[in-house]
């Protein structure tokens, strides 16, 4: 009975032991297979694909931030002077009243200074008289045009009539001279009578010549006279224009008696006092515009190519360290500072409540946007002066030399040359790869994440 029971247990335990041995062997085989799939060295030893993880090369807009220290400056600055004028070289104006002081806030067209007006008023009165005289001269010149034309026509008519009369008279004198000469030959007329007739004939010829000269002069005047009249009219008209312009200058100078602010802003300096004589070069004061306010920063010269007007900027001032002010790049000068080797760029920031004061220091971050090809920085291997990456094509890894740019805030690296958008590159396991290695890019499988 006991023997049969032992045999029964024997037949139960042997198959179970066999199954257990088979199961443990399968588990060991599976574990060994999984280890070869995930271990690059074992995979290479057993000539299996090297386990790697990959990513794709991207292309598109990227944004980088360039920061620099900065200081606030006025967005506009105007020095108040009376300016250069021919009238102001004749006398020195005198300050009558000063309506502002250092630090005054003024609006556009607000009166800042008054000058003594008496000399300006006198100059305007004199120029008005000069204009009236010029206009009177012009009126006389225009009226003389018709009158002179009538006089020239009458002179020509009289000269022509005189020529006809002198011609008829010379014929009579010639006939008389010939008659007395004949009578003198016949001893009927004396020598004196003949000589008197000859003298009268010669005198009549001279008078005819004189009359013809007069006629020719009258004809010439008919041509040149109108031109001369028009020239006189033009000269008179030019004198009127000059006098009008001179009066306008005098009235402009008179307006300088009240000097206004060109825009809203703060008076930075008042340099004169009532009763002080000034000239064209005297600085009376200075007005600064602070809304918007400008922030000047030293932009690094190696990033100039990426800079353009209108780019967004963030500004943090030392006086408001917890606040960030938004602005835009407003001006990009043409020359780099020779000492700092930086470009003094201007960022414009709204300042409606005038909280931001002039001369305040701060820090500016300019956001630069451009198109670029990028790849994860860990995909690129640096070997001495060369950079390379493994590109996966048809299940094999190939070494590709690349030229890199900057590392962006997102951790990706700019690729200048060597890689194209959409290419698959190795980001994990590349240190175990060689050229043309077979690779297993199904990382979820070999990492047992499925």
| Polymer length in residues for the chain | 450
Q: Is the dihedral of CA 4, 5, 10, 16 positive or negative?
A: positive
pTM beyond cutoff 0.85: no
Q: How many of the other CB atoms lie within 10 Å of CB of 267? A: 21
- Segment 38-65, tens digit of pLDDT: 677 887 878 888 888 888 888 888 777 8
Strands 439-440 and 50-51: parallel
- Segment 215-267, tens digit of pLDDT: 898 888 888 888 888 999 899 999 999 999 988 888 887 877 888 999 999 99
Q: Is the predicted pLDDT of residue 184 greater than 80, yes or no?
A: no
Res. 375 pLDDT band, cuts 50 70 90: confident
- Segment 110-163, tens digit of pLDDT: 999 988 888 888 888 989 999 999 999 989 988 888 888 888 888 888 989 888
- How far, CA to CA in Å, does 358 sit from each of 16, 33, 187, 271? 91, 72, 125, 20
- Segment 9-20, tens digit of pLDDT: 555 555 555 454
Residue with tokens 């043409």: 334
Q: What is residue 100's predicted lDDT score, i.e. its pLDDT?
A: 92
Lowest mean pLDDT among 359-363, 431-435, 443-447: 443-447
Lowest mean pLDDT among 71-85, 94-108, 175-189, 375-389: 175-189
Please, which residues have CB within 8 angstroms of residue 316's CB and are 6 or more apart in sequence? 323, 324, 325, 362, 363
Cα separation, 21 vs 17, in Å, equals: 6
Q: What is residue 411's predicted lDDT score, i.e. its pLDDT?
A: 73
User: Which tokens go with 228?
Assistant: 């001369």
Q: Closest by alpha carbon to 298, among 240, 361, 206?
A: 361
Lowest mean pLDDT among 291-300, 343-352, 437-446: 437-446
Residue with tokens 């990227």: 62
Span between the terminal Cα atoms of the chain, in Å: 54
Domains of the chain: 79-114+258-286 (2.40.50.100), 120-255 (1.20.1270.60)
User: Which tokens go with 97?
Assistant: 């009243």
Four-point Cα dihedral 109, 113, 117, 119, nearest 10: -120
Q: What is residue 263's predicted lDDT score, i.e. its pLDDT?
A: 92
DSSP string, 326-375: EEEEEE--SS--TTT-EEEEEEEE--TT--SPTT-EEEEEEEEEEEEEEE
Q: Closest by alpha carbon to 330, among 312, 317, 315?
A: 312
Collapse the DSSP code of 71 into the 3-class scheme (helix H, G, I; strand E, B; otherwise coil) and give the result. Answer: strand
pLDDT above 70 as % of the chain: 87
Q: Closest by alpha carbon to 72, among 339, 290, 397?
A: 290
């Amino acid at each position: 009975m006991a023997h049969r029971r032992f045999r029964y247990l024997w037949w139960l335990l042997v198959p179970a032991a066999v199954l257990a041995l088979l199961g443990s062997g399968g588990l060991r085989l599976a574990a060994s297979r999984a280890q070869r799939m995930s271990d690059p060295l074992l995979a290479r030893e057993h000539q299996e694909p090297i386990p790697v993880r990959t990513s794709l090369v991207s292309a598109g807009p990227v944004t980088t931030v360039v920061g620099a220290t900065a200081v606030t400056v006025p967005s506009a600055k105007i020095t108040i002077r009376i300016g250069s004028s021919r009238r102001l070289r004749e006398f020195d104006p005198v300050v009558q009243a000063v309506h502002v002081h250092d630090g005054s806030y003024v609006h556009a067209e607000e009166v800042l200074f008054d000058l003594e007006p008496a000399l300006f008023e006198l100059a305007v009165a004199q120029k008005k008289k000069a204009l009236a005289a010029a206009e009177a001269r012009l009126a006389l010149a225009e009226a003389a045009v018709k009158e002179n034309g009538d006089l020239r026509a009458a002179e020509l008519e009289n000269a022509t009539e005189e020529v006809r009369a002198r011609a008829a008279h010379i014929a009579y004198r010639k006939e008389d001279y010939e008659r007395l000469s004949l009578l003198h030959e016949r001893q009927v007329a004396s020598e004196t009578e003949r000589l008197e007739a000859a003298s009268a004939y010669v005198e009549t010829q001279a008078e005819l010549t004189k009359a013809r000269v007069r006629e020719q002069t009258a004809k010439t005047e008919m041509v040149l006279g109108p031109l001369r009249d028009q020239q006189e009219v033009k000269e008179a008209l030019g004198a009127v224009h000059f006098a009008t312009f001179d009066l306008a200058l005098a009235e402009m100078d008179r307006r300088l008696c009240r000097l206004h602010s060109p825009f809203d802003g703060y008076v930075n300096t008042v340099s004169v006092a009532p009763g002080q004589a000034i000239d064209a070069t005297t600085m009376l004061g200075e007005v600064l515009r602070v809304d918007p306010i400008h922030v000047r920063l030293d932009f690094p010269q190696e990033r100039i190519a990426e800079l353009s007007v209108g780019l967004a900027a963030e500004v943090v001032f030392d006086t408001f360290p917890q606040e960030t002010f938004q602005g835009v790049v407003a001006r990009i000068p043409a020359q780099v500072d020779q000492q700092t080797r930086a470009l003094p760029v201007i960022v414009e920031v709204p300042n409606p409540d005038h909280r931001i004061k002039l001369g305040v220091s701060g820090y500016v971050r300019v956001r630069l946007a451009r198109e670029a090809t990028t790849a994860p920085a860990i995909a690129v291997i640096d070997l001495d002066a060369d950079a390379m990456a493994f590109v996966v094509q048809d299940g094999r890894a190939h070494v590709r030399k690349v030229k890199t740019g900057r590392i962006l805030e997102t951790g990706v690296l700019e690729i200048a040359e060597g890689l194209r958008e959409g290419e698959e590159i190795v980001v994990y396991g590349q240190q175990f790869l060689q050229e043309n290695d077979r690779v297993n890019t199904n990382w979820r499988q070999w990492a047992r994440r499925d």
